Every structure is written in C-alpha cells, then in structure tokens.
Amino acid sequence: MSNKKKVFIKTYGCQMNEYDSEKLLLDLEKNHYQQTGDIQEADMVLLNTCNIREKAAEKVYSELGRVKKIKDHKTDLKIGVTGCVAQAESLEIFDRQPAVDFIVGPQSYHKFPEIISKVNDGEKNIIETNFEALDKFQSIASLAVKPKPSAFVTIQEGCDKFCTFCVVPYTRGKEVSRSHKDILREIIESAKKGVKEVILLGQNVNSYNFEGISFPSLIYSLAEIDDIKRIRFMTSHPRDMTDELIRAFGNISKLMPFLHLPVQSGSNRILKSMNRGHIVEEYVEIINKLRVIRKDICFSSDFIVGYPGETEKDFQETIDLCEQVQFAQAYSFNYSSRPGTPASRKEELDEDVKKRRLHVLQDLLTKQQTTFLERQKNRQHNVLFEKIGRGINEYVGRTEHFSPVTVVSKENIVGDIRRVEINAVMSHSLRGVLK
C-alpha cells in the first residue's frame, strides 16, 4: 500500500500555467504526494489560476465553493490557490472562501516545498506573493519535467509594456529572462528523454534577453540540438518582432511556420488607448515580411472586442484587418475590466453592443479558420504525434502549422514525426492517413 497523499490539480489559463503546474506537481511528488484525477479522493486540492479576464477569476471562486463542500465532509483536506488570481486577490480569496489554507503567487513557486511543510504541520492562511522570478527560475531548473513528445519551457516572465487592460505587470511583475545555460540544459535533458519539440513560453517571449543573448540567438542555439526537431514560441508582442527574429523564420527550418502574434484591435485609435505601442500598419508590415521570408507561414492572434471607447468605425477596422491578414486561427473576447488597470477607470460599452460585435468577429474568424483547414485537404504534412486518441488505434498529433490531426495506426506512433495525407476536415481539426 502506498503511503503517499493524493493531490488534485486544476489549471486555468495559459500554457505558462500548465508548465507551472507540472513543476508544482514535481515538488509535491518529492513531498510524498501523487496526482489524482478524482477530486473526491484528494488530500490536497490545488487551483492554479488565471486573472486575465473577470470570468476566469469568478470560475475560481465557483470552484472553491464546490471544493469547500468536499472539505465540509473531509475536514483534513488542504486547499491551495496559486497563480495570478492568488497574486492579485490574496486577501479577498481568504475573505470570500475561508476554507482555503494557502495562497502562492506565480513568482514564489520556489518556496513551495517550504509551504507544503507548513501546511502539513497544520498552518493556515499562508500567503506567499513576492516577486522573485530569478529565484523561481533557479528552482525550476532542477525539476525535470516528465518526458513527452512536445514540451513547454518557460524562458521569460513578466511584462514591462503596461497595456491599459492587462493585469500581467501587476501579477507577474517586470520582464525577467531566464539563464541561457539553464534553458539549454533543461532542453538537452528533455531531448534525451524523448522530447522532439519545445514550445518556448513567456508573457512577452520575444522580449527575451539574458546578459546580451537575444531571443533569436537563443533559437539559433536550440536549433543546434540534434534531437530537437521543432521549435515554437508564444506569446509574442509586435514591438519585439525584430528583423533578426523575422529572418530566423527563413534561416531555421526547425522554427515552425506558425506565429501567434496578438494585435488586440485593428484600430490605431484603440491601440493608442490600449497603450499597445504599435500601429496597425507596423503589424501588417511584420506579417508581410514573414510571408516573403517563409512562404508557408500562418498566423494566429488575440482580439479584444468592445474596449472602452470603441466605435463602430473602430470595430470595422478590426474586421478589415482580419480580412487583410486571413488568420489560420484566432482568439477573441469581449473586453473584461480588471481591477487596478488604467482601463478599469474608463466607461464601459453596453454589453449587448459588445456581444453583437463579438459574434460578428468570431463568425468571420471561424470562417477563416475553416478555409485554412480546407486548404490542407489532400496535402501531406509532417505530423508530430503527441498522444493516444479516443477511438480504437487513434493517435493525435499536430502539423507544422499547429493544426491537430487524428490518424488510425496499428502501431504506437506517439513521439514519432510521420508523413500524413489529410483526407478529412473537422470543425477545428484534421483527419488523415499515414503515408
């Protein structure tokens, strides 16, 4: 019989939170916990949270209400909240849900073993929300993530851009880059364990600069690792898309032809109000340069609809930008006011107006995504297979353009890069046959 306690982890938000959850789990395993998918049998419940939008934060409080009901019957259950909601609303969390035992901000995970020890000793109302990203980076460098074909690697945290709608500078702190040597060491070790693709993560990942080593220089050095076959990164900022980085897409075949480059609005007036620091013409210029250098590249973006002051003309300019760029995929959301941000002091638009505009934009973006996927039919792609699918002998992977693909194979192809001919298009994915 195992004497390990069980932990249930629920992760909200971005890929960086997924990466952090993996690292937190490794710390928990060192402290005699094992992961469970059944919250009812857990000795500890950990919610790793996102605070980008109001709905994301409210989902956390709803989940805490459900977990509290479990704790009513299982009084020794420990409840922890980590991530950006923990950083931004630590005292409010305890006020709204006293059943919570501890709160840890995203830059304090290096103190997690110490916190676990305190929790196991019966301490309550523990708060650790200091900004110490370098200490965190040094801590996670020693935690080897379990091998898998595609792996996230955080290389940068924080943001100095201060977009008026965004809480990241207040929850993740200033931009800090991780040691070049630590990144290489982690990726080399991961490659030895079967990782074929790395996805470099950061709030502004292309702002990476460690002791003079630029982001493009980092990518060039990663491309020299033989066992790493694919390199991706997200999320990037238009202000940091240098010509050197653009040229890298033409020079490095391992750098996949897919770029997530959030623009947020197609209106220069709104971009200025958002303090984005770029204009639409600069964004389009980046897209055009990349399309010249890398003929097969495709693009993804983020859009905020109904930002305070957005007129019908501003919104139409966003539609016009989408028509011009033709995105392979995109994420769009109604503006959500976040406490403490400059935009939260602005008068909001009518909710019905925001909903109508979002529907129009999402309808267009869905059509563009469908068109992009339809173009892949009868074409062949190199697909990295990452997991077993739901059906019998089904395997799921991604193309060079990050599109999900499902095939049927009698042999286990997880971890393989195989040639696949696309023969069917689903709503958000592709189906194909091995060649």
**CATH code, domain with 57:** 3.40.50.12160
Q: Show which of 132, 165, 191 is a domain's final residue.
A: 132
Instruction: Clarify whether residues 152 and 250 are in a common domain.
Output: yes
Number of domains the chain contains: 4
Residues 400 and 345 in one domain: no
Residues 211 and 301 grouped into a single domain: no
33 and 106 part of one domain: yes
Same domain for 120 and 17? yes
CATH number at residue 398: 2.40.50
Answer whether residue 137 is part of any domain: no
pLDDT by 10s per residue, the chain, length 435: 457 899 999 998 777 788 888 888 888 888 889 999 999 999 999 999 877 666 777 888 999 999 999 999 999 999 999 887 888 787 888 999 999 999 988 777 778 888 888 888 888 888 887 755 555 555 555 555 567 899 989 999 889 999 999 988 887 788 999 999 999 999 999 999 999 999 999 999 999 999 999 999 999 999 999 999 999 999 999 999 999 999 999 999 999 999 999 999 999 999 999 999 999 999 999 999 999 999 999 999 999 999 999 999 999 999 999 999 999 999 999 998 888 899 999 999 999 999 999 999 999 999 999 999 999 999 999 999 999 999 999 999 999 999 999 999 999 999 999 999 999 999 899 999 999
- Residue 138 lies inside a defined structural domain of this protein: no
| Residue at a domain's end among 87, 103, 132 | 132
Regarding whether 347 and 279 lie in a shared domain, the answer is: yes
Is residue 115 packed enough to be buried (19+ CB in 10 Å), middle (13-18) or exposed (0-12)? Answer: buried
Same domain, 128 and 16: yes
End-to-end Cα spacing for the chain: 47
183 occurs within a structural domain: yes
- Domain membership flag for residue 352: yes
CATH number, residue 221: 3.30.750.210
Tell whether 268 and 230 lie within a shared domain.
no
pTM across the whole model: 0.81
My answer on whether 210 and 280 are in the same domain is no
Q: Please, are residues 289 and 241 in contact by the beta-carbon 8 Å criterion?
A: no
Last residue of a domain, one of 221, 256, 291: 256
Task: Tell me whether residue 139 is in a domain.
Answer: no
Shared domain for 288 and 193, answered yes or no, is no
pLDDT number for residue 144: 55
| Same domain as 77, residue 125 | yes
What is the pLDDT, as a whole number, of residue 1? 45
Domain containing residue 402: 380-434
Residues 13 and 96 in one domain: yes
Assess if residue 395 is contained within a domain: yes
